[in-house]
Amino acid sequence: MHRLLCFTAHPDDEAGSFGGTLLHYSEQGIETHVICLTPGQAATHRGGAKSDAELSGMRRQEFTAACKLLRVTSGIVLNYPDGRLDRQVLMTVVEDLTRRVRELRPQVVMTMGAEGAITAHPDHTMVSIFATMAFHWASRTNRFQEQLQSGLQPHRAQKLYYGTTLFTMPDRQPVALSPSSAKIELGQRGVDAKVAAFKCHTSQSPLFPFFEETVRRRGAQELFHLAASLTPTKAQFETDLFTGVE
């Protein structure tokens, strides 16, 4: 059974950055899992919520609806604080994510780039760093040994990808994006599903015009950068994230 694991920072990242690819692989019979680190409680757009806790609850429900639309096998929102991932204890978060890699045992992991994706959000940078460390350390017998003593096995995921694009946002902080080395064709139906998934995030409705603009600029495709591979290899342009996966 092939499994794809996606690490994100905020509810709505799964739709905006990875939605078409998640649906594409689910429809091919591949298990898809999304782990979102924060419930998005620091969002500018509050959807009428009177407290961070209320907004967290709303956004968790919106995330669940978006995952259902994208046919995600399992989607969970962790409880790290939105806007403060750069102030967490590095090893605490990496241990948590490493445990989840060892539990889910994906062949392919995807996350955001360390530049912070086109919005340059610091939480996007941090999820990239945490997930990259978890990808590499999940396979090692000398990392987080207490997990191994409690019955988990090391797990060697085979490929790590960062989401990327061929454009930046001139009105945002500068980003240096990873070059694209893989392209997933979504087709119009995939694009429509991605837009519909984003619109499950009704608390963020003021962002819908921005989102539709970026979707239009991406076209009917999502781009990725192969950041790590089990087998030492020269980069070759791919149209399937599972190419070469055993």
Point out which residues bind Zn ion (CB under 5 A): 9-10, 13
Rounded-to-integer distance, Cα 39 and Cα 42, Å: 9
Least distance to Zn ion from the beta carbon of 204, Å? 10
Give residues with Cβ within 8 angstroms of 37, minimum separation 6.
Answer: 7, 8, 9, 78, 80, 85, 93, 123, 127, 130
Least distance to Zn ion from the beta carbon of 243, Å? 28
Least distance to Zn ion from the beta carbon of 155, Å? 26
Nearest to Zn ion of 102, 225 (CB atom): 225
Nearest to Zn ion of 13, 222 (CB atom): 13
Q: Which residue is nearest to Zn ion (CB)?
A: 10
Nearest to Zn ion of 9, 109 (CB atom): 9
Q: 126-144 burial by CB neighbour count: b if 16+ within 10 A, else e?
A: bbbbbbbbbbbbbbeeebb
- Stated as kind and residue range, the H or E segment containing 3 is strand 3-8
Nearest to Zn ion of 207, 245 (CB atom): 207
Least distance to Zn ion from the beta carbon of 6, Å? 13
Rounded-to-integer distance, Cα 92 and Cα 133, Å: 12
Side chain identity at residue 135, one-letter code: F
